[in-house]
Structure 1
C-alpha cells in the first residue's frame, strides 16, 4: 500500500467533512486548524487535527476510515507526525480504552497539574459531565 502523509489542502475540507460524518460523527474538522491526512492513491483514509497554542499542540479528532481500520494505520499516522509538529510538546485527550494505543506510539501519561492551562481548559470542558479521559503527552524527538 502506497501511503502518504501531508497537510490537507483547504479546498478539500468539504470532502473531509463527509469522511468525518461517515466515520467519526463527533469529529468536526475546522478550517482554522492544521489537518494532517493519510492517503493512499490520492484517497484520504485517515486524518488528525492539530491545534497550535503558544507552548504546545493539541492533537484531536484522529480518524481512520471504517474500511481501513485494524491495519495499524492509526499507528502509522502517529509515527509520521513529528515533521508536522514544530513545537516540542503535544497533548491529546483520550478515552481510557485508547490509552495503551497512544502509549505504544510514543505518548506518555500526563498529570493534570503538569499540563499547560490551554489543555486543562479543554480537559475540564470535556469531563465536566462525568466523561472519563486520560491526558497524554508526546515529546517531538526531532526538536
Structure 2
C-alpha cells in the first residue's frame, strides 16, 4: 500500500496552522510545537498522518503520531516511519508506545527497553504519564546498518 502515498514532508512554518488543525481534529493532546520537526504524509493537499520529533537536551522523543481515522489500517504510519530513518537516527530517539502499539513500533525500528535505560530527561516524563494511568512502554530507536547510509 505504501506506494500509494507520498513521501513524508517536513512541515514548513507556513503549514503550521494546517498541522495544528489536523491535531485538534484527530489527536487534541498531540500539541504541535513550531520548534520541533513535524513530518506529515499528504494526499491531494490533505494531511493523512503526522508525527512530531520533540527535541530535548540530549535526545528526541517521537510523539504525537497520528493517522486520520478514515485512513488507519492502510499502512500510512509504517510508510511515514520507514521514510524517517535519517531524522530518527540523527540523535538518540525514544518513544512511549501505547501498549497495543508496541508491535507497530517494533516493526519500525524501535526496541522495547526498561525504563531505567531512559535518559533522565525522559524518565520523569514517563513516570508522570504512567502515574496518570497511561499504559506506556518505553522504546528506543536503533537504525539497522542498511538504513544508516
TM-score (norm 1): 0.90
Q: Report the counterpart of residue 104 of structure 2 in structure 1.
A: 101
Change (3 A) 1:86 1:108: closer
Q: Where does structure 1 lack aligned partners over 5 or more consecutive residues?
A: none
What secondary structure does 1:26 align onto?
A: helix
Q: Report the counterpart of residue 142 of structure 2 in structure 1.
A: 139
Q: Report the counterpart of residue 26 of structure 1 in structure 2.
A: 29
State the shift of 1:116 in Å. 0.7
Q: Report the counterpart of residue 46 of structure 1 in structure 2.
A: 49
- Counterparts of 1:104 and 1:94, CA distance in 2: 12
More helix by share: 2
User: Is residue 87–residue 140 contact of structure 1 (8 Å, CA) maintained in 2?
Assistant: no
| Residues 1:6 and 2:9 are matched in the alignment | yes
What secondary structure does 2:73 align onto?
A: coil
- Counterparts of 1:139 and 1:133, CA distance in 2: 19
Q: Report the counterpart of residue 82 of structure 1 in structure 2.
A: 85
User: Is residue 3–residue 41 contact of structure 1 (8 Å, CA) maintained in 2?
Assistant: no
User: Is residue 35–residue 50 contact of structure 1 (8 Å, CA) maintained in 2?
Assistant: yes
Q: What's the C-alpha RMSD, in Å, of the aligned pairs?
A: 1.7
- Counterparts of 1:27 and 1:2, CA distance in 2: 23
Q: Report the counterpart of residue 19 of structure 2 in structure 1.
A: 16
User: Is residue 7–residue 80 contact of structure 2 (8 Å, CA) maintained in 1?
Assistant: no
User: Is residue 57–residue 87 contact of structure 1 (8 Å, CA) maintained in 2?
Assistant: no
What secondary structure does 1:62 align onto?
A: strand
User: Is residue 91–residue 136 contact of structure 1 (8 Å, CA) maintained in 2?
Assistant: yes
TM-score (norm 2): 0.86
- Runs in 1 of length 4+ with deviation above 3 angstroms? none
